[in-house]
Each structure stands twice: as structure tokens, then as C-alpha cells.
Amino acid sequence: MKFRCERDLLADALATAGRAATGRTGTLPVLSGLRLELVGDKLTVTGTDLELTIQLEIEVGGERDGGVVLPARLAADIVRSLSAGKVEVSVDGDDVSIAGGRSQFAVRPLSLDDYPRLAAPASSAVTLPSGEVGEALRQVVRAASTDEARPILTGVLLTAEAEGLRMVATDSYRLAVRDLPGASVLGADQKVLVPGRALSELQRLVGHASELTLRLGERDATFEVGNTRLTTRLIEGEFPNYRQLIPASYPNKLTVARESLMEAIRRVKILARDATPIRLQMSADSLRLTAITQDVGNAVEELDAVLEGTELTVAFNPDYFAAGVEAVGGDEVTLETLDALKPAVLRGVGRPEYLYLLMPVRVP
């Protein structure tokens, strides 16, 4: 195998596919590598850990067809370090030569025969606007758990609703729900659970194309964006009944400028050490944010706000609260509450398609 390629194009391809290569080499060491396959002027770069696969195709100057598996991190670091311009990659005997400018590296490849052959994706496909999907992922994936001890909560639920597609994620402390009206991806009453890690990677990709293609298999989902294909195994199991967590109505509703609230949270968080909760004291025409850390100090900030309902004080984890305010979008945000200990809901004014439910923190 031998080809030439612009350094930046090859570096981006190696970095993108490399995010799916595993750093855990105990079971199958070859999975720490990237498979490069050259046919004509098309180079296919694949990374996988058998749960998540990222594969992309780029145009290169091909001279000799073939395939090789390179150590993912090492290859990416080498190509990134080269001077700008053309990079030449060639398989010479037992080594792979990577050269650019006046630099040359020789790398020992991994076994091509041991690299797993991947199944073809499902044939039926649905096309979605990538911009809208990307925004939904930005809002929802943040609420998925990263605790592998609770695998169900590391997934994002995709479920069919009467109006279209719904995405749901929760880590048991917060819940994010986003509707995509008109997106008919699933059949009636169908639902699938997609790993949050895979959707985080998809979120990186969707900004580079106008459309996204989804192919759903029995046990996996494939997303195609431009020249990149991301395939992930679906999570098996029953997602929690999230609907019962969302009250039908709230007696208290606070409305406040979103940007001002975000800036106030950033400042008050400086004194919210070690996840010290931020207290929100809500009154008819103002919102006071307070953080108190013993033996360190305290911070207080007051904002103009409008409260419909009863005055009360509620406290939240500062990081979870800030993430919710950032996610809802819009110029104004509403905080709907029942009391100081029941789940509260953040929404963007005029944006009914998204809600962020947050559990309060009990404070003295």
C-alpha cells in the first residue's frame, strides 16, 4: 500500500476514527489500531472497540492498493507532528513508512488478519436535517449518565411519539426531554436505546453536513454524515418510566433573562466549592442566588425576575443547574417548581419542544 495525502486531511481522519479505537488492549490488542484500506484514490479509515465503530473515506493520491492496521494514537501523533503539506504513507516489508517534509518515521503495524470484519449496516434508511438533530443532541446527551455500573442510564432513549421523534436521557439526578416534530424515524410505539457515548461522537460530526442518514438494525444503529459512518450497538434493557417524574402542572413559575442568569451562575459558582449547592431565593420581582462554602466565603447575586406563585427558596447542584440553563436556549428561561424538595423544570420561553428536569438539593 502506498499513497500521498495532505497532512491536515489525514490527521483529521485518523483523529476522528481514533475516537472509536479502544485504549484497553487486554482482550484484542489489534483494537488499539486503525485499519487503513486503499482502493484507487479512496482511503477508508476505520476505528472500533466492537461497541462503537467510526469509519470514514477520504480522497488521496493512491499508488498501490492494500491495507494495514496502524497503532491509532501513535499514527495520529506522528501525522499531526509533520510539517504542513503532503504526507506519504507506504508499507515497506515489516514496517510502515510515514514521511512528510524532511521527517520520516517507521512504524511496526498490527495484524491486519486479526482486525474484525464489520457487518454491513441495515439497508433501510431515514434522512434527517443534521442541524436540528445536532441541537437536540446538545440538549439531551448532557443528561445521560457516564457510570458504566448503570448501563441503561448511559443511553439516550429514542421513542416514537404522535408528533415525531423524542429523545430522553437521565442520570437519576436530572432528566432531559427533546421532541423533534415531524421526524418519523421509528415505527408506532417503537423505541431504541442508543449509547450516549456514540451520540456524543455524532454530535461532533453533524456540524459538517446538512443531512444525516440513520439506518436502524435489530441490535445496532448506523449514522451517516458526509463521508463518515458511525455505527453503535444498541443498549438492551428497559429505560425508566420518565413520564411519571414530570408533574402535570406547577404552581410556581419564575421567568428570568437567560444570559443574565448564566452570568450570575458563573460568578456565584466561584464560591460553590466541591459541588456546594446554589440557593435560589425567588420573590415576586427578583431572584437571589447564594453560594456558601464553610471556611472559604460566600457569594450573593440578585437578578430581576417575575414570579407567578408562592415565594420560596430552592437549592441545586451548581453544575447541573448551569448545564440546564445553557441547554434550554432562548432569551428567557422559566423555572417551574412545586416546592423545595420536588423536581423542578427548566424551559426556554417559546421553546416547548425541550425541558430539563432537575432534582433539588436539601439544604439546612
Specify the CATH number for the domain of residue 263: 3.10.150.10
Domain presence at residue 174: yes
Domain presence at residue 120: no
Q: Are residues 276 and 298 in the same domain?
A: yes
Q: Are residues 92 and 155 in the same domain?
A: no
Better-scored residue on pLDDT, 280 or 294:
280
Nearest-10 crossing angle of helices 7-18, 72-81 = 160
225: its cell numbers = 454524515
Q: Are residues 323 and 231 in the same domain?
A: no
Q: Of the candidates 210, 244, 278, which is a domain's last residue?
A: 244
Tens-place pLDDT, residues 199-240: 999 999 987 778 899 998 889 999 999 999 999 999 999 999
* Phi-psi group of 226: left, alpha or beta (phi > 0 → left; psi -120 to 50 → alpha; rest → beta): left
Q: Are residues 212 and 264 in the same domain?
A: no
User: CB within 8 A of 23, min separation 6: which ones?
Assistant: 32, 73
Domain presence at residue 119: no
Q: Is the pLDDT of residue 348 over 70?
A: yes
Q: Is the pLDDT of residue 120 over 80?
A: yes
Q: Are residues 325 and 229 in the same domain?
A: no
Residue with cell 416534530: 181
113 φ, ψ (degrees, to nearest 5): -65, -30
Domain presence at residue 117: no
Q: Which residue, 65, 72, 66, 67, is CA-closest to 30? A: 72
Q: Residues 194, 232: contact at Cβ < 8 Å?
A: yes
Q: Are residues 283 and 224 in the same domain?
A: no
Q: Are residues 102 and 174 in the same domain?
A: no
| Angstrom distance (rounded) from CA 279 to CA 287 | 10
Q: Is the pLDDT of residue 244 over 80?
A: yes
Q: Residues 185, 128: contact at Cβ < 8 Å?
A: yes
Q: Of the candidates 53, 72, 107, which is a domain's last residue?
A: 107
Domain presence at residue 169: yes
Does the pTM surpass 0.75? The reply is: yes
| Angstrom distance (rounded) from CA 351 to CA 345 | 13
Mean pLDDT of the chain: 92
| Residue 253: pLDDT band with limits 50, 70, 90 | very high
Q: Are residues 334 and 255 in the same domain?
A: yes
Q: Are residues 83 and 130 in the same domain?
A: no
Domain presence at residue 189: yes
Which segment of 110-114, 192-196, 292-296 scores lowest on mean pLDDT?
292-296
Tens-place pLDDT, residues 143-198: 999 998 999 999 999 988 877 889 999 999 999 999 988 777 777 778 899 999 99
Q: Are residues 89 and 55 in the same domain?
A: yes
| Angstrom distance (rounded) from CA 314 to CA 298 | 17
pLDDT recorded at residue 217: 87
Count of domains for the chain: 3
Identify the DSSP state of 1. Answer: -
Q: Are residues 292 and 333 in the same domain?
A: yes
Burial of 28 (0-12, 13-18, 19+ CB in 10 A): middle
Domain presence at residue 157: yes
Better-scored residue on pLDDT, 121 or 339:
339
Q: Residues 154, 195: contact at Cβ < 8 Å?
A: yes
User: CB within 8 A of 343, min separation 6: which ones?
Assistant: 175, 245, 246, 247, 357, 358, 359, 360
| Angstrom distance (rounded) from CA 261 to CA 318 | 12
Domain presence at residue 191: yes
Tens-place pLDDT, residues 303-331: 999 999 999 999 999 999 999 999 998 99
Tens-place pLDDT, residues 11-68: 999 999 999 997 765 678 999 999 999 999 999 999 999 999 999 999 999 999 999 9
User: CB within 8 A of 352, min separation 6: which ones?
Assistant: none
Q: Are residues 314 and 350 in the same domain?
A: yes
Q: Of the candidates 244, 268, 299, which is a domain's last residue?
A: 244
Averaged pLDDT, 241-270: 94
Q: Is the pLDDT of residue 123 over 90?
A: no
Domain enclosing residue 43, as ranges: 2-107
pLDDT recorded at residue 24: 66
| Angstrom distance (rounded) from CA 60 to CA 121 | 25
Tens-place pLDDT, residues 127-138: 888 888 999 999
